[in-house]
Amino acid sequence: MAVPSAQCKMVAKHALRVFGGQLKVQAYYDDARTLSIDLLTTLDSLHAGVKSIGTIGLSEIPLLTADGNEFGTRVELCAGALTQETYWENAVASAAFHIRKQQAAVMPGDVVRDIFSEYLVRPKMPHIYLTIPFMWNDSYFPELQYSTLKVNWLQCIAIYEEERVFIEQYGGDVFDNLLSEQEINTLDCNRPRIVFSD
């Protein structure tokens, strides 16, 4: 693992303050081993048997809007998962690599497709949905101001293909409302699908 930059150290400290717990940092590489990303993981910080995961360093990459201008905020990813679900770290790293390679702005309501298909055989929920972090700190993940940069976190949750299609049609805000109204436990890998009314 390379020596982390001052920005990466600040990102890690900020995420750890939100997550709580004892941290572990590990480097993950893409298939070609041309890109790497560090992941911070803390165990039992939400409650026993649940881990918190956060990227360190994705925010060093500027993301661009459709017209080629730099997006107003830098981004890091986070996720909550059951401790025994070891594929989650790889999935979050892969989502980060996808964002780095595309270098296109991402925001709440976006979907990174087919991430879990790389690590699970015929996953029930193959996609990662990006949303405003809601698992930590009473649903408040504060922005990090570093020098002239603003860094914000997006939470990764697993979604079904039918849910991806719904989000594409109706948007993330509507989907988020249904998640809340139906009290969906996003930590459950066998959770029911969102019920869409006609």
109, part of any domain: yes
Examine residue 148 and state whether it is found in any structural domain, yes or no: yes
- Quote the domain boundaries for residue 22: 6-181
Q: Is residue 11 part of a domain?
A: yes
- Return the pLDDT at 22: 80
Give per-residue pLDDT as tens, 116-148: 999 999 999 999 999 999 999 999 999 999 989
For residue 1, tell me if it sits in a domain.
no
pLDDT(8) > 70: yes
Asked if residue 107 is part of any domain, the answer here is yes
Q: Is residue 126 part of a domain?
A: yes
Considering the domain boundaries, does residue 196 fall inside one? no
Instruction: Look at residue 80 in the predicted model and tell me its pLDDT.
Output: 97
Give the tens place of pLDDT for each residue, 142-195.
999 998 999 999 999 999 999 999 999 999 999 999 999 999 999 999 999 999
Q: For the chain, what is the domain count?
A: 1
Q: Copy the structure tokens of residue 116.
A: 């879990």
Please tell me the predicted confidence (pLDDT) of residue 4.
81
Give rounded-to-5 percent helix, strand, coil for the chain: 30, 30, 40
Does a structural domain hold residue 24?
Answer: yes
